[in-house]
Structure 1
Amino acid sequence: MDQHLMTLLPHDDGPWLASELDIRGISKDARRRLLTTGAILRARKGVFVRPSDTRQRSAAERADVRLAAHVRLTQGKLNPAYLYSHTSAARLHGLVFLRDSALIHVSCHSKPCAQRLGTGVRAHFIPVPEHDRLMLHGVPVTSLERTVIDCARILPVEDALVLADQALVLGADRRVMFERLKGMVGYRGVINARQVVELADPRSESVAESRARLLFHQENIPAPVPQWKVMTHLGQRYLDFAWPEEMVAAEFDGMVKYFGDKPTDRALYEERLRERHLMELGWRFVRLTWSDLENPFEVRRRIKAALRPHTASRGGPNRLSPLSEW
């Protein structure tokens, strides 16, 4: 391996344009040698990365690299023939996916040749009005509202709802989305898109909570209130989902809650302490995990059982509370 060429490479992992490597003294022939030895990889025509940037990353991170490589050839161009849309626009807006895909989506003003777009790119030839276009860090993308609609037209409802919830948190306007949908009657997937926009809720704080909300809806479980605020003697506490009249809460136990910044034992202790204070106020809990969402029937059974009238046994001041029975 040519160590001199290795020292000329940028210190970051890329992606780098061929022109940027030329400036650093890495000519076309030199790039060919580096490619042959595996010192660099071609992310797409004219764009290169370090091998570690693709082989040691998750599927989502690899998809980020592929899109970043494609964007490098678009960034700064005046009046490009396309703009990034659908899931690619969602990625550029910073949205997190339930299921990831490395496919790049663009919406074209006209039909550019496939060679110019590159491999792994899907072109959509549908009109994107000026008010649905914007420049994001110098990259042409669809607006948040249009991005949600486009994603909801091609993705399963569950995947699209995860994105729509996040978009509302970032400032997407639901009224604008409904207005856009009025002008898309007859478009493929527009019925799904309308359902996603109707169900979207910015109060969901994670992908799991978005999935759970959809499950409740599909299983005809009475709609809970997300992020219900409860005052305890230690201050305000929030419940992931609450049915306040029944004093029932559904809480999602995710890995981040117990394996985030805090030590696991500390996180578990604080979570159980929080739950105890809420139980002392009469709240009853149904705890859900990611795997539970794969068994909707069982989730429905557990929650509907908890929502049934809870009768305390009689016997004066020492009778069992609903909490004790739970």
Structure 2
Amino acid sequence: MSPNFTLLDQLYTQERLLNSGYTRTTMRRKLRTKELISVLQGVYIAASVWDSFTPSLQVLARHTALALRDSTCVFCLSSAAFLYGLPLLHVPQNLHVLAGYSVRGAASDGILEHTSNEASVQVTVLRPNFRVTELSQTLLDCARTLPVLEGCALVDAALHRRMLAPEEILPRLQASQNSAATHIATHADARSSSLLESVARLQLVEMGLPAPVHRLDFEAYLLGTSDAHAPNRASDYAGVYRMLRTRQASFVWLEQRVGLAMVASDAALPHADVPTPAGWHMVQVRWEDFYPSSRVLREKLHPYFPQLG
């Protein structure tokens, strides 16, 4: 079952609580003793359930609560991107909605209303009950308002997942007369398969390194072998790294000791069963294995990915 449908079962409007046998006195007592938590004004959840949620699921619960309470609201900006399932550096702590769609509440509830620059707004309905701005509009709005790295990563992800075609978004970004959006239009790359790869690629290009041309999915290649045949995954990665350093291929970035490998063709590697390169990929290894001397890159990426160490 989708997490959204589970959330709908866990959220209670005041009307639903009263219909299930609660009295207003009981509701006030449970709120006072913190057995019930107010997710938003007029929408409640059991404290034990709320405490079991991850931070991301708590954010989803707040969005679900608003959609449940105000069925005509339209989510926009990072809220819409979050509901589309696109990767964000930080989940939205506020609820971003379009103004003029009958939303109750205030900034104290974390609800921020935004006026659209568009003459007409196209709305997409996502399951189970989310009304959001149309995807290309969401990406354009995020490109205008979010940091460039994050806005570009959103466009990368939408293109990579084939949620829309390049011609549906890149011309809109280019024509927006917004410097961040036009920058993203020229730097978006559908080959990027994760937020980490998008941010790393953009930081490396900003440092003066060339944009990658080919991709070899080392992660799929290595992890395609069962654990019984590859008991020491770390040594496998180390072996691939040693192999790459000795091959005559386009390892410009490996020479810089950063973990992005450009491979001219599958003939560059001695294994005939290695998949044909298509795009590019961040080699998934321990940070210290690949980045010991790339202090500048490490410092640039650490604010976004502190878990890398």
Query: Does TM, normalized by the shorter one, top 0.5?
Result: yes
Between structure 1 and structure 2, the one with the greater Rg is 1
**Which of 143, 162, 180 in structure 1 is aligned with 2:134?**
143
Aligned to 2:200: 212
1:28 and 2:24 are equivalent in the alignment: yes
1:15 Cα deviation from its structure 2 partner: 2.5
Would the aligned equivalents of 2:88 and 2:154 in 1 still touch at CA under 8 Å?
A: yes
TM-aligned CA distance change 1:54 to 1:154, over 3 Å: farther
The amino acid of 1:136's aligned partner reads: L
1:225-244 matched pairs, under 5 angstroms: 225=213, 228-229=215-216, 238=218
Q: Which residue of 2 aligns with 1:180?
A: 172
Q: 1-side partners of 2:92 and 2:227: how far apart? A: 31
Q: What is the count of residue pairs matched by the alignment?
A: 254
Contact 1:13 1:50 in 2 (8 A): no
Root mean square deviation of aligned Cα? 3.8
Work out whether 1:120 is the aligned partner of 2:120. no
CA distance in 2, matches of 1:84, 1:142: 6
TM-score (structure 2 length as normaliser) = 0.68
Is 1:268 aligned with 2:234?
yes
The SS at the match of 2:112 is strand
CA 1:65 to 1:209, structure 2 compared with 1: closer, same or farther past 3 Å? same
Higher relative contact order (CA 8 A, sep 6+): 2
User: Given the alignment, which residue of 149, 157, 165 partners 2:156?
Assistant: 165
Distance 2:77 2:109 in 1: 17
**5+ long unaligned stretches in structure 1:** 1-9, 230-236, 241-256, 301-326
Letter in 2 for 1:174: P
Matches within 5 A, 1:1-326: 14-74=10-70, 77=71, 80=72, 82-108=73-99, 110=100, 115=105, 119-128=109-118, 132-137=122-127, 138-170=129-161, 171-181=163-173, 184-185=176-177, 190-225=178-213, 228-229=215-216, 238=218, 266-279=232-245, 281-282=247-248, 285=254, 286-288=257-259, 298-299=296-297
Write the distance in 2 (CA, Å) between the matches of 1:20 and 1:87.
Answer: 30
- Shift, 1:213, TM fit: 0.9
Cα distance in 1 for partners of 2:131, 2:7 equals 28
Q: Distance in 1 between matches of 2:121 and 2:15?
A: 34
Q: For residues 181-220 of structure 1, give each alpha carbon's deviation from its aligned partner in whole angstroms, at most 9, with x where no partner exists.
A: 46644xxxx2212212321212112221111111122112
